[in-house]
């Protein structure tokens, strides 16, 4: 027992002859367990070489595929006071249905006849614009008449100037003839004086010649005065011509100035008419904004601003609405280190909150309760949670998503990557290495095609 001697007791005594010895020595200890360990070891070794699908897991929420299908809140474009509700939470409304009625809280819009009074102002200003246009037309006619009158007056003045010039020529000829006559009279007088000195002619003849000479001298002076007067008439005709030009230029300039003033006033009136019409249109639109209507078919989720008589500012949310028709999608987030592994069009498995599921992330084919999806958009800018947003849509080739899921519910996503042996995945997990970086087959083909081109 104590093995003190080298002699074995079992050699000296046959213990198998005893009952207890038979029970002990004939029993195969641990043989089944050893066989189990051997089989388990072989199975583990085989399992290590089984394929394992690398994946990227993430948490997200259910949303809609397009922005116009997502839950939204309805705001008022103007500040106001709640007067009456026409719906209750959970009601279905169609596009254009009235949800609530509000009233104005700004004193500028309290007048019930604001639009009618504005229309009266517009009519008055339109009449003013018409009056200014008539005044402009009258001034244009006046300017046209002044231009015609100016041309006639100038023609008369020019004719008078021509007459004066011709009169100067006529008087100049007469003056030259008077000069000739006085020369003749002087010669006749001198001849008569000579004849008288010689006693041939009488004194009477000398006196007659002297009288004729004086008369001729007087006529010469008269012709000279008449010539100077004709020259003065020419100067006066020129002065009159300039005066007419200046007079009518002033009249036409004044009429044009009045016309410009009338046109400017007319333009100002048209501007005021445009402003009033703009204000009138705004008043009409603002009056329609006193009724908050549904932007699309949907269900009333929640009255954000409840009660009667409560005031609110412009842009403040009043009620939430969920569109009637929408396409489900999942909004999930991936780490920046996993972003290069996500590509548009890749397959993703989705597990919805509230739906029983048995998930084997590495063996998607044996998972239960997951649904197929594919990547439709990858955000290019990091979100507030430090991850990148990925949008998933249902996979048409897979099972249809449950109809009872709701927008906003949680979801767990598993993006499927390459198939690797299980031992490789264990080694990667132990070393905290990222999944294998890869490119989809389609993108590689596209790159090779582009290189060939």
- Domains, the chain, in order of start with CATH, read 1-48 (no CATH), 54-69+326-452 (2.40.30.170), 72-104+290-323 (2.40.50.100), 114-287 (1.10.287.620)
Confidence of residue 449 (pLDDT cuts 50, 70, 90): very low
How far apart (Å, rounded) are the C-alpha atoms in residues 59 and 192?
152
361-405: pLDDT as tens digits: 555 554 556 888 889 998 888 888 888 899 999 988 888 888 778
**pLDDT tens for each residue of 152-198:** 888 888 888 888 888 888 878 887 888 788 778 777 777 777 776 77
Question: Does residue 444 carry a pLDDT above 50?
Answer: no
Q: Cα torsion at 45, 49, 50, 51 (round to 10°)? A: 160
Q: Which two tokens stand for residue 11?
A: 């050699």
Mean pLDDT of the chain: 81
Q: What is the reported pLDDT for 450?
A: 39
pLDDT tens, position by position, 220-260:
788 778 888 888 888 888 888 898 889 889 999 999 999 99
394: left (phi over 0), alpha (psi -120 to 50) or beta: beta
- Residue pair 349/85 in contact by the 8 Å Cβ criterion: no
pLDDT confidence tier of residue 451, bands split at 50, 70 and 90: very low
Mean pLDDT of the region 1-24:
61
Burial class (CB in 10 A: 0-12, 13-18, 19+), 374: middle
The predicted pLDDT at position 438 comes to 53
Identify the CA nearest to 82 among candidates 294, 312, 314: 312
Tell me what the mean pLDDT of segment 91-106 comes to: 91
- The per-residue pLDDT for range 79-98, each reduced to its tens digit, is 999 999 999 888 999 998 99
Considering the entire predicted model, what is its pTM?
A: 0.57
């Amino acid at each position: 027992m104590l093995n003190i001697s080298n002699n074995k007791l079992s050699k000296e005594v046959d213990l198998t002859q005893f009952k207890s010895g038979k029970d002990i020595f004939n029993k195969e200890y641990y043989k089944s367990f050893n066989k189990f360990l051997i089989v388990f070891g072989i199975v583990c070794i085989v399992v290590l070489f089984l394929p394992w699908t690398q994946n990227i897991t993430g948490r997200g929420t259910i949303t809609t595929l397009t922005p116009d299908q997502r839950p939204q809140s309805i705001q008022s474009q103007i500040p106001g006071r709640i007067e009456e509700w026409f719906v209750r939470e959970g009601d279905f409304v169609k596009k254009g249905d009235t949800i609530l009625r509000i009233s104005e809280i700004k004193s500028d819009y309290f007048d019930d006849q604001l639009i009618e009074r504005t229309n009266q102002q517009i009519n008055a200003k339109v009449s003013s614009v018409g009056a200014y246009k008539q005044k402009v037309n009258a001034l244009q006619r006046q300017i046209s008449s002044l231009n015609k009158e100016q041309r006639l007056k100038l023609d008369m003045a020019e004719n008078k100037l021509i007459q004066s010039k011709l009169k100067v020529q006529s008087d100049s000829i007469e003056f030259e003839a008077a000069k000739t006559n006085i020369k003749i009279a002087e010669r006749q007088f001198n001849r008569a004086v000579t004849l008288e000195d010689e006693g041939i002619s009488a004194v009477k003849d000398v006196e007659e010649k002297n009288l004729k000479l004086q008369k001729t001298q007087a006529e010469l002076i008269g012709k000279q005065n008449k010539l100077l007067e004709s020259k003065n008439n020419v100067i006066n005709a020129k002065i009159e011509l300039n005066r007419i030009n200046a007079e009518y230029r002033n009249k036409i300039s004044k009429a044009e100035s009045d016309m410009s003033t009338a046109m400017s006033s007319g333009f100002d009136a048209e501007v005021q008419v445009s402003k009033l019409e703009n204000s009138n249109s705004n008043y009409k639109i603002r009056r329609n904004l006193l009724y908050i209507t549904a932007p699309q078919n949907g269900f009333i989720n929640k009255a954000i601003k409840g009660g009667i008589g409560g005031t609110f500012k412009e842009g403040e949310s009043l009620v939430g609405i969920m569109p009637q028709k929408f396409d489900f999608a999942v909004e999930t987030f991936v780490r920046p280190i996993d972003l290069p592994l996500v590509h548009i069009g890749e397959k993703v498995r989705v597990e919805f909150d509230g739906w029983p599921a048995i998930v084997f992330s590495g063996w998607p084919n044996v998972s239960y309760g997951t649904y197929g999806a594919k990547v439709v958009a990858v955000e290019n800018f990091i979100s507030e949670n430090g991850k990148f947003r990925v949008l998933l849509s249902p996979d048409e080739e897979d099972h249809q998503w449950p109809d009872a899921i709701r927008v906003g519910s949680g979801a767990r996503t598993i993006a499927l990557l390459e198939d690797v042996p299980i031992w490789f995945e264990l080694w990667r997990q132990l070393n905290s290495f990222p999944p294998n970086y890869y490119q989809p087959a389609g993108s590689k083909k596209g790159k090779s095609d582009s290189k060939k081109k």
